[in-house]
Structure 1
Amino acid sequence: MSIVAAAPTDYTAPGVEEFWQPLFGTDGPWAVTRPILLMVVATGLVVWWLLATTKKKALVPGRGQMGTEAVYGLVRNSIAKDLIGSKDFMRFVPLLFALFTTILVNNFFGVIPPFSYPTFSRIGFPIALSLIVWVVFHVVGMRKHGFIGYWKSLVPAGLPKAMIPAIFFLELITDLFTRPVTLALRLFGNMFAGHILIVLFITGGWYMLNSGGVLVVAGGVTWIFAFVMTLFELLVEFLQAYVFTLLAALYIGGAVADEH
C-alpha cells in the first residue's frame, strides 16, 4: 500500500484572475474593485495618522510623532534634499512624502490581513502615479529653462553636429517614454510577482496538507517558505516605495538643475 494518499485533483494554481476582484459590478471600467477600495482605505489611514500624530506636537515627541517625523525626515533629507538640492527641494517634499506614504501603506496591505492584497499589483495604479511624476518634472523643467531651452538641453554640449539628431532622438524617447514606463513597471512587477508567489505557496501548501501521506510534510515545509517569503516581501514593499520616490526626486532634480 502506498504511503502517499490520493491527492485531490481540483487544485488550480493562482493566476492573473487573482488581481481582478470586482466588489460592485462584474465587468467594465466602472466596476468597483478590491484595489480601488484599498486605495481609499490607505488614503484615509495616512490622513488619519498624520492628523493624529501632529495635532499635539511636543518638544519631546511620543512614539506616534516620532514615527511620523522619522518618515518625513527620510523623505525630506535623504531623498528630496540630497537629489533635488537645497535650493529647490522644499516645494517638492509634500509630493514626495505623499508618494512614499501612499505606496508604502498600499504595499504593506499585501501581507496584512484582512487586506492581503498589494494595490499596486494592478498596473493602472502605478501608471497613474508615474504619469503624475512625468507631468511634474517636465512642467517644472520647462518653467525653469523655458520650453525651447528645456528640450534643447537634452543634447550635451560639444557633440559633433552629425551626432546631434540621433542623440536628441534617444534622449527624447528616454524622457517621454522610458522613464515613466520603467517607473510604473518596476513597482507593478515587484508587487505582482511577490503577491502571486505568496498565494502560490499558501494555497499549494494547503492543497498538500489536505492530500495526506508524505505530502503533509511537504505542505508544512511549503508554509514555512510562505512565512519566509512574507518577511522578504515586507522588505521588498518598503524598498519599492523608497525606490519609486527616489527616482521621482531624481527626475525632478535633473529637470530643475541649473546645468540641465
Structure 2
Amino acid sequence: MTIATSVVRTAEGDGFTPPGPHDFDLPAIGGGHDTFEMFGQTFVLGVTKPMLQIVLAGILVFAFFYAAARKQAMVPGRLQFVGEEAYGFVRNSLGRDIIGARDFARYVPYLFTLFFFILLNNLFASIPFIEFPTFSRSGMVYGLAIMSWVIYNVAGMRRHGVGGYLKLQTVPAGIGGPMLLLLIPLEFMSNILVRPVTLALRLFANMFAGHLLLILFALGGEYILTEKAIQYAPVGILAWVLFIAVAFLEMLIQFLQAYVFVLLNAMYISGALADEH
C-alpha cells in the first residue's frame, strides 16, 4: 500500500474519511484469506508488506556492509570508507562511550546491526513505491524489544549471577528498612518488566504518528483541491506544503529513533554490567 491508496470517498463522491489505524492494516500479499481467532480477534494468515520489508532490510544491510568490508584495503575506497565511518560511529558513540572500554567490544556487532536495520526500515517510509514504515506495526517492534531485553538481562546475570543481578536492579544503593517494601516492587517493574514495553512503544508511536500525518496532509490537500470549491485551494496548497515539510522532518526522526533505540540498548547493557544500581 502507498499513501495514495488511503483515500476513501463516499458513494456520493463528496466525502472524505480521515486516515486512521485502518491504513496500517495491510492485506496479505496474493489475497490470502485464511484466518484464526486469538484473544477475541480475527487474524489473517499470509505474508504482508512489512514482513517483506523486514527481509529486504536484512538483505540490503548485509549486502552493503559485506561489499564495503570485502577488500579491506589499506587505503580505503569510497565504499569501504563509508562502511568504516558507519561502523566507527556505532562502535565509538553507542558502544565504547556508553558501555565502557572494558566490555563494549562483544556488544558492538549487535548494536551495529540493530542500528542500521532499524534505520533502513524507518527510511522505507520515505522511499518512493514503498512508502511504509515497517515499525509502524507494533508487533515488529516488540520482537526487537524482546530480543534486546533478553540480551541485556543475560549479560547482567552472567556478570553478577541471577540473584546478584536481581538485587542490583531492584535494591537501590543506600536504601534500607521498610522503604524497601515499596521500592523493590517499583524497581522490579521499572527495570525488569516495563523497559521492553517503553522501548518498543517509543519507536512504534513515532513511526505510526509520523506516517499518519503524512497521509493526512497529502490526501487532505488532494481532497480539498479536487473536491472543494476554488476558494479553498490555498488551504489545499498549504496542506501539501506541510506534507513536504513533515516529510523532511520525518527523515530526521527516522534517524533519531534508530539512534535512540540503540542508545537505550547500550545504556541498559551498561546498567546490567555495572556493579552498582
Per the normalisation by structure 1, the TM-score is 0.93
Structure 2: distance between partners of 1:207 and 1:113: 21
- After superposition, what is the alpha-carbon deviation per residue over 1:215-245, rounded to whole angstroms, capped at 9, x for unaligned? 2332222111101100000000000000000
Instruction: Give 2:232's aligned residue.
Output: 215
8 Å contact from structure 2 (residues 224, 233) kept in 1: yes
Aligned length: 254
Displacement of 1:51 = 1.4
Q: Aligned ranges for residues 48-67 of structure 1 at < 5 Å?
A: 48-67=63-82
Given residue 114 of structure 1, which amino acid in structure 2 is its aligned partner? F
Instruction: Give 1:237's aligned residue.
Output: 254
Instruction: Indicate which of 192, 196, 199 corresponds to 1:183.
Output: 199
2:164 aligned with 1:149, yes or no? yes
Displacement of 1:95 = 0.6
Given residue 68 of structure 1, which amino acid in structure 2 is its aligned partner? G
More off after superposition, 177-186 vs 160-169: 160-169
2:207 aligned with 1:202, yes or no? no
- After superposition, what is the alpha-carbon deviation per residue over 1:67-86, rounded to whole angstroms, capped at 9, x for unaligned? 22222111100011111110
Structure 1: distance between partners of 2:254 and 2:87: 18
8 Å contact from structure 2 (residues 224, 236) kept in 1: yes
Instruction: Indicate which of 6, 10, 15 corresponds to 1:10.
Output: 15
Structure 2 unpaired stretches of 5+: 1-11, 36-42
Q: Aligned ranges for residues 115-154 of structure 1 at < 5 Å?
A: 115-153=130-168, 154=170
Instruction: Indicate which of 14, 20, 26 corresponds to 1:21.
Output: 26
Displacement of 1:163 = 1.2
Instruction: Give 2:6's aligned residue.
Output: none
Displacement of 1:29 = 5.2
Structure 1 unpaired stretches of 5+: 1-6
2:264 aligned with 1:259, yes or no? no
Given residue 18 of structure 2, which amino acid in structure 1 is its aligned partner? A
Given residue 269 of structure 2, which amino acid in structure 1 is its aligned partner? I
Given residue 178 of structure 2, which amino acid in structure 1 is its aligned partner? A
Instruction: Indicate which of 33, 36, 52 corresponds to 2:48.
Output: 33
Q: Return closer, same or farther for 1:114/1:190 CA change in 2, 3 Å cut-off.
A: same
SS across alignment from 1:242 = helix
Structure 2: distance between partners of 1:59 and 1:155: 50
Displacement of 1:8 = 4.9
SS across alignment from 2:194 = helix
Q: Aligned ranges for residues 162-173 of structure 1 at < 5 Å?
A: 162-173=178-189
Instruction: Give 1:225's aligned residue.
Output: 242
8 Å contact from structure 1 (residues 19, 122) kept in 2: yes
Q: Return closer, same or farther for 1:168/1:104 CA change in 2, 3 Å cut-off.
A: same
More off after superposition, 175-184 vs 100-109: 175-184
8 Å contact from structure 2 (residues 173, 276) kept in 1: no
Instruction: Give 1:112's aligned residue.
Output: 127
Identity %: 46
More off after superposition, 13-22 vs 81-90: 13-22
Instruction: Give 1:70's aligned residue.
Output: 85
Structure 1: distance between partners of 2:106 and 2:124: 29
Greater relative contact order (Cα < 8 A, sep 6+): 1
Structure 1: distance between partners of 2:45 and 2:82: 37
Per the normalisation by structure 2, the TM-score is 0.87
Structure 2: distance between partners of 1:157 and 1:12: 55
Instruction: Indicate which of 180, 192, 195 corresponds to 2:208.
Output: 192
